[in-house]
Amino acid sequence: MALTRVTKHIIHGSLLVQFKYTENSGSWVLTTSRTTYTKINNKNVVMTPQYADSILENSASMTMRQEAGNNNNDQLSIALFVNGSNEYEQTNILGNQPYGNGHSHTGGRNDRTAPTRRHGHVTNQRTAVGFTHTYTPASTNAQDMDVRAKSSSDRNFSVQDFFFICKEISIGITTLSGDQT
């Protein structure tokens, strides 16, 4: 067999080091302390970076629904928490301001209408929610990552079909990767 010369060829790039995920199928309803960021059914991902300069990439998707049956203008928010600290949040992911002309006078016989009554209402709004985020922890300490949700008003809301992915990506050549802001 003829000898083959082996040529060394260096290719620079990043490596997908870790890939972890968690799920909460079905519905989770927040019924207490709804104006405080609360972990979605206590689901979390703990990842210990193998390299201090790695990038951690997070992506999540779910649907949310207001459970309040009366007229409201509640605003829902979600946030990515890492080791108990707010790393990234999305406010105003759902909501509106219901509005309609109010009646100006009492409605005559039998009070058919009255001032301040308004007929334009919106209830039980729902939406698909998702985010993508990236950060560099700059250490090899364990990263406890979770997604939390809250409402602007203390009324029930639900999170359904929650899925959360975390990846560790080695940085490769620093000039080719990282924050460009």
Binding positions for other proteins, 42-101, rule CB under 8 A: 55, 57, 59, 73, 75, 88-101
Single out the residue of 83, 113, 123, 141 in contact with other proteins (rule: CB under 8 A): 113
For residue 39, how many other CB atoms are within 10 A of its CB? 13
Q: Is 18 helix (H, G, I), strand (E, B) or coil?
A: strand
Answer for which of 20, 36, 83, 120 binds other proteins (CB under 8 A) is: 120
Which 133-152 residues touch other proteins, going by CB under 8 A?
133-134
d(CA 57, CA 16) in angstroms, rounded, equals 10
Q: How far apart are CA 95 and CA 115, in angstroms?
A: 26
Q: Which residues of 81-99 are buried (b: 16+ CB within 10 A; e: fewer)?
A: bbeeeebbbeeebbbeeee
Single out the residue of 43, 103, 126, 155 in contact with other proteins (rule: CB under 8 A): 103
* 176 touches other proteins (CB under 8 A): yes
CA dihedral (111, 115, 117, 118) in degrees, to 10, reads 130
Is residue 8 at the binding interface for other proteins, with CB under 8 A as the rule? no
Please give the residue ranges that form the binding site for other proteins (CB under 8 A).
11-16, 55, 57, 59, 73, 75, 88-101, 103-105, 107-108, 113, 118-122, 127-134, 169, 171-172, 176-181
